[in-house]
Amino acid sequence: MAEGREETNMLGINFSSRKDGNCGDFLLFLKQQTKTRFVVKWIHDFPFDGCGPCSYECTHGSCPKKDGFAELTAWLDREEAYVFVIPVYNGNLPSAFYRMLERLSPRLHEEAEERRFWKKVRILLIGNPGHGLERSSGILKELFRNAGQVPGIITFSSTDYGMKSTRDRLIEEKEVRKKLMKAAEEEEQEGMPQGT
Q: DSSP labels for 159-187?
A: GGGT--TTTS-GGGSHHHHHHHHHHHHHH
123 forms beta bridges with 84, 153
The pLDDT, as a whole number, for residue 17 is 94
pLDDT in tens, 82-123: 999 999 988 899 999 999 999 999 989 899 999 999 999 999
Least confident of 18-27, 82-91, 109-118, 178-187: 178-187
Task: Name the domain count of the chain.
Answer: 1
Range of the domain at 177: 9-190
Cα–Cα distance, 183 to 196 (Å, whole number): 10
Question: What values do phi and psi take at 110, rounded to 5?
Answer: -75, 120
Q: Is residue 3 part of a domain?
A: no
What's the mean pLDDT in 13-21? 95
Cα–Cα distance, 185 to 15 (Å, whole number): 23
Q: Which helix (H) or strand (E) holds 86?
A: strand 81-87
Q: Is residue 1 part of a domain?
A: no
The answer to whether 194 touches 152, Cβ cutoff 8 Å, is yes
The answer to whether 191 touches 81, Cβ cutoff 8 Å, is yes
User: Residue 93 is part of a domain; what is its CATH number?
Assistant: 3.40.50.360
Q: Is residue 4 part of a domain?
A: no
Cα–Cα distance, 123 to 81 (Å, whole number): 11
Cα–Cα distance, 139 to 74 (Å, whole number): 26
pTM above 0.85, yes or no: yes
pLDDT in tens, 124-157: 999 998 888 999 999 999 999 999 999 999 999 9
Cα–Cα distance, 196 to 191 (Å, whole number): 14
Q: Is residue 14 part of a domain?
A: yes
pLDDT in tens, 40-73: 999 999 999 999 898 888 888 888 899 999 999 9
Q: Is residue 81 part of a domain?
A: yes
Nearest one of 181, 128, 119, 179 to 154, comparing CA atoms: 179
